[in-house]
Amino acid sequence: MLFRSPVLAVEGLSKGYISGRQRVSVLADLSLSVCSGESLAVVGRSGSGKSTLLNLLCGLQTLDDGRIAVAGESFAATGAGAEGRWAELRRRTIGVVFQDVNLMPALSLLDNVRLRSHLAGHDAGGEREWLERLGVGAEADRYPDQVSGGQAQRAALAMVFAMAPALILADEPTGSLDRHTADEVADSLFSVQQQTGCALVLATHDRELASRCDHLLDLSTTV
């Protein structure tokens, strides 16, 4: 499902935490937008709020102020029924990729992809093709502990693309990989993202990886 207007729009987003007796601001009055086919790199020093931002953008944390709109669904700091609407977006519309690969160990790579596609409401078929497009078709029937870290991350990307998301949030997707493998996984991510036309928000410490995105947001300069 693709959107001509921004897939993701953020206005005046703020988030902070209580540390001891003080409130520490992590994100303050942040605004951004990402359209179909676009990619945004979120960079910044450790503790600048990269992971917090991605968690907010998929509803895993609640914002203190501002508004987030994803694929036509709008969320404010207060609002009834937000958890259920966020859960539905994560199931069908928002694909999330973490540094630590989120594969079910008791399922083969192929069955992991099949399960994710099924949960997104898609009919069976085409899951093996996603693994092939991400370069791990030959490992489809292997289990997560039988493949390399790079292969597992490619399978995780196949899971996300198989759900046909409007938006992908990737939190340090190559952070645990060596340079060569990281580059290969990044090549696969950007290639398929461009082919499918979904929007991508990528949080990373890797400036080289960030430079491949269309836009850059440096959180070190926003608070």
Question: According to the 3-state scheme, what is the secondary structure of 57-126?
Answer: HCCCCCCCEEEEEECCEEEECCCCCHHHHHHHHHHHCEEEEECCCCCCCCCCHHHHHHHHHHHCCCCCCC
- List the CATH number of the domain containing 60: 3.40.50.300
Is the model's pTM score more than 0.75?
yes
Whether residue 101 lies inside any domain: the answer is yes
Q: How many angstroms separate the CA atoms of 197 and 185, rounded?
A: 18
Q: Which helix H or strand E contains 209, and what residues bound it?
A: helix 207-210
How far apart (Å, rounded) are the C-alpha atoms in residues 92 and 80?
A: 21
- In angstroms, the CA 210 to CA 39 distance is 10
| Sign of the torsion angle spanned by Cα atoms 27, 28, 29, 32 | negative
pLDDT digits (tens, 9 = 90+) for 132-175: 999 999 999 999 999 999 999 999 999 999 999 999 999 998 88
CB atoms within 10 A of CB 218: 13
Q: Render pLDDT for 64-118 as a digit per residue (tens, 0 to 9).
A: 999 999 999 999 987 667 999 999 999 999 999 988 888 999 999 999 999 999 9
Number of domains within the chain: 1
Percent of the chain with pLDDT over 70: 96
Q: Tell me, yes or no, whether 79 lies in a domain.
A: yes
Collapse the DSSP code of 35 into the 3-class scheme (helix H, G, I; strand E, B; otherwise coil) and give the result. Answer: coil
Is the residue at 114 inside a domain? yes
189 domain-assigned: yes
- What residues make up the domain containing 75? 8-217
For residue 191, CA distances in Å to 3, 5, 111, 183 come to: 19, 22, 23, 12
Asked if the structure places residue 123 within a domain, the reply is yes
Structural domain includes residue 2? no
Identify whether 73 is part of a domain. yes
Query: Residue 165: inside a domain, yes or no?
Result: yes
